[in-house]
Structure 1
Amino acid sequence: MAIRYKLIPNEQMDTVKHLCNELMSYQKSLATIRPELFNGMSFETRMVPSVKNAKANQIIAAMDGDEMVGYVYSNVSPKEVYSNDFATFFDMDSVKGTEVGCLSQFYIKEGYRSMGIGSVLFEKSKSWLDTFDGIDDQFIYVSNGNDDALNFYISKGFKTSHQILDGFITVLRNTKRASL
């Protein structure tokens, strides 16, 4: 099997709709804290608004032939979009700039996990986020119960920052600070 990676333009984001909805179902299946919060989460409620609110977006799909077997969605957004009716995702004063980078969604289908696909998608996402000057803070939000994802991101250098919504989400952060 030769996995290839394909950049998906924003105008074609609906091609990952099925994977995004699978991700929401997968997260709900793992959740031990308030799994009912996932009932209102879908491509239309999570990805579409995020893409619209972001300054820059990147969607990369992992392809096995013509089949899309995983994806990563990352964005650079004004930090204020992370404080809304659902939650405040981090202390706004702790972010140096006006924008943050976020690895927002990451999913690999069952049967394709533990094959290195996740590492490739992560590295492509992280490399893209690192190209933005002035973005010192990068975040990843991991739903409760998804310990494999949490440990994966920690192994890639992200640090646990805090939890929100009484442990429903663990916030991971990577901050690059220029040396003085």
Structure 2
Amino acid sequence: MNIKYEILPIEKAYFCKELCNELMVFQKSKAKITPELFDDMNFETRMLPSIKSAIDNQIVVVRDGAKMVGYVYSNISPKEAYSNDFATFFDLSSVNRNNVGCLSQFYIKEEYRKYGIGSVLFDMSMKWLNQFDDIEDYFIFVSNGNDALEFYKRKGFAVSHNILNGFITVLRNKR
């Protein structure tokens, strides 16, 4: 393996399109609660709107040689961005500041898991998020059936609550 990490300029987010769409298929395959909600989720409906509503964004991709094998997308967004037609992701009144940090999407191709790549991506995401002094609340939203919950707990996040009848588990870390 020839693993390299690269921070993508946000205008090149489309480089992640295939991986983002793989993530949605993966999440649907693991979901035990309303998997059909993933039917309309893809790069155009998930990542692009998130990028547009965010104040700042970071995408880190992982390559094995020329092959893209994973990515993490993180953002700083107004807390109101997390209350929309789909769901209200957390009690907005529980966040004192105007903006929140979010590790929004995280995916590694299955054959590349268990090599520490996830920890490197997670650490890069947190380092980027932590540079914003005005952010004290960080969120990760994990779809049901995804076994990443334990990974995030080991990294200091705690389960806050579930939304959409358990479709998504909300994890939170407060600075």
Q: With structure 2 as the length reference, what TM-score do the two structures score?
A: 0.99
Distance 2:120 2:71 in 1: 11
Amino acid at match of 2:143: S
Q: Report Cα offsets for 1:30-67 as digits up to 9, x if no partner.
A: 00000000001000000000000000000000110001
Please give the residue correspondences for 1:6-155 in structure 2 after superposition, counting only pairs within 5 Å. 6-147=6-147, 149-155=148-154
State percent identity of aligned pairs: 65
Amino acid at match of 2:157: F
Amino acid at match of 1:65: G
Distance 1:36 1:99 in 2: 31
Q: How many residues are aligned here?
A: 175
**SS where residue 110 of structure 2 aligns?**
coil
Distance 1:19 1:80 in 2: 27
Amino acid at match of 2:102: C
Amino acid at match of 1:144: N
Measured after TM superposition, the shift of residue 2 of structure 1 is 2.5
Q: Report Cα offsets for 1:50-105 as digits up to 9, x if no partner.
A: 00000000000011000110000000000000000000000000001000000000
- Aligned match of 2:161: 162
Amino acid at match of 2:124: K
Q: Do residues 171 (structure 1) and 173 (structure 2) align? A: no
Distance 2:91 2:110 in 1: 35
**SS where residue 106 of structure 1 aligns?**
strand
Distance 2:35 2:160 in 1: 22
Distance 1:119 1:62 in 2: 12
Q: Report Cα offsets for 1:88-143 as digits up to 9, x if no partner.
A: 00000000100000000000001000110000000000000000011000000000
Amino acid at match of 2:161: H
Moved >3 Å (runs of 4+) = none
Amino acid at match of 1:125: S
Amino acid at match of 1:76: I
> What is the RMSD computed on CA atoms of the aligned residues?
0.5
